[in-house]
Structure 1
Amino acid sequence: MIRTPKRGAGSEGLDQRVINDWFARWGVNNPSDLTPPTRFVGRAGLAAYSAAFSSVTAERPEAYESLTYHRELSMMMAHCELHTPRRTELTAAKIRSHPMELVIVASHVLEGSLRIAQYGRKMTYTEGQLVVLALDSPFVNVVDSVADSAMLLIPKRLLGLGTDIGRTPELPIAADSLVSRSTAQFVRRFACDAAVLGRDVTPDMELSAIRTIREAIGLHSYDERRPHRESPGVREAAIELIEQHYRDPMFSADAIASMLHISRRHLYRHFAQAQNSPAQLLKRRRLAQAMELLACTTELSLDDIARQSGFISANTLRARLRAETGLSPIEFRASRQADRRDDLEGSK
């Protein structure tokens, strides 16, 4: 067991309870059975970490602490780490002196966020996302809370990330689909088994892991770079889901994205050339159903109509109807039923 003074997590190093939870997430009941992690503490720890990789700083250097497990495999490296908030910068000078044609594929458990700037892009990551970051270009990485990070460092060529701009995704990546989140969990487990638990890893296992990660990156790249090719199909699928689920008041654009296994941002990109967004289509479908029920029935109460149309309450329906037509439900019903009577009389 790593012994540290009992201090506040993120304010005075790593609290022992935080360390215990870290090991517990890996299924380790007795950390003393493992090889102790490498520990970086305070200003000296920041300096040692910076010498090995890149410039690492903290707002309170004296309170910095990091526990790391690192293992070099035959084709890649596995790395697991628990650390307090920090800022990491890989500079062009560091890359020139220590070139690394590597890609970090990682997943993080953290209460706050992780922000990376690279290639002119700024990305924000949350817990459980698949993070892909190149080490052959300068970047700045900021973590604002205690973070449990698990990662694999893989040669770029093995992931098919070459110079073909048509095939290479823009990095950094913050992938948030069902496939990418599943891959993130796989990366965490593989990195832990290799680096923390020291389990046997054969070259075939490494190749299998690389193929899995490469496929996930490829799917994300397709979504990122060529959404317009499949946008009509995605829009059609989204409209079908709205038709199936609009009566559920909890159904939303987020639910549509989840069912299509894409992020909300990517879903909206598919609707960039459409007249209405997914949320607008859902609102319109609910209102259309409510207007139909108001026009055609007299026995249903406003609460019943709201419930059958997917509105969370009669008040929400009332406000939406007035915003769209300028009429209250009573006025709208009377108007439509008067129109229907006029139509019937005119047809006689």
Structure 2
Amino acid sequence: MSTQGLQPLLDEHAELEAALADPATHADAALARRLTRRYAQLSRVAEAHRRSRSAEDELATARELAAEDPDIRAELPGLEAAAREAAAHLEQLLVPRDPDDDRDAIVEVRAGEGGTESALFAAELVRMYERWAERRGWRTQLLDTTWADLGGVKAATLAVAAPEGAYGLLRHEGGVHRVQRVPVTESSGRTHTSAVGVLVHPEADEVEVDIDPADLRVDVFRSSGPGGQSVNTTDSAVRITHLPTGTVVSCQNEKSQLQNREQAMRVLRARLLADARAAAADAASQARAAQVRTVDRSERVRTYNFGENRVVDHRSGYKAYNLDQVLDGDLDPVVGSLVRMRTDEALAQQAEAGA
């Protein structure tokens, strides 16, 4: 097992533990949040190291006693397997991670090719993410919804928060999701293919993105619900345009204009942070390029085939015939296949670099 780089991480963990025990650290809320995120990440490494070392010590002791005790000798295969598993888990945690993995996430779902059918499936994807989050004990908040006919959505923005950070898993959802099924509006029973785009951003802290109020144009309008009907008698919905970049964010799900403005600013900060990271680093640019650029059916990352109850992820090769369960929030096996794929790729790159 390669544990290159382990000791500096353990040292940093000890330093962060001392820093977080100092009341002065918590006088700066943004600093405390940043250090707490990093400490939680390194705590997983420290605990995995402790378990791996404990398993190795137990195995070494058993090997010494096995020559004289048949009962202990019979336990050796199980102890060896446990030691290998603990070592492999530690090795996976040592793979370089996206620095934003421990952040909360902003998920944007946008209908694309397919008209009404695409909007209907976009609404189903939003529900899928909400149910997945609920299964994992995460918190969700629907920040904005632009409704379409028959209960579909043209666009929706979902904030997802988790103690261990939601972005590390949700970032695998970025891309074009293709659906194949007979639309409710199709009278001949012919299967159609539609596309929905998903964009995932790490949520930014207020102090991380410097936004000059003079660079913002704020428009207010009346909130609308399914079918376009007004759901509010006041101009509570907010649209914010960041003039230097042309980035436009709107929010209308809250009852007050102030609340919608606050939520719109959350989304704007997340988008600007993602754009800044992409411009600053090649790795971030590649990560963003892996997400949806145009909501075109040919750029799909995953296909949902209703006729066969089948879901296929085109990046990891994952395939299963439990589409109904996946749409009900059983996403762990699908996302897990992507985590394993990217971990294996990173381990292979490490091994190649160390060769």
Q: TM-score, normalised by structure 1?
A: 0.22
Work out which of the two has the higher radius of gyration on C-alpha atoms and give 1 or 2. Answer: 1
Bigger relative contact order, structure 1 or 2, given CA contacts below 8 A and separation 6+? 2
Q: TM-score, normalised by structure 2?
A: 0.22
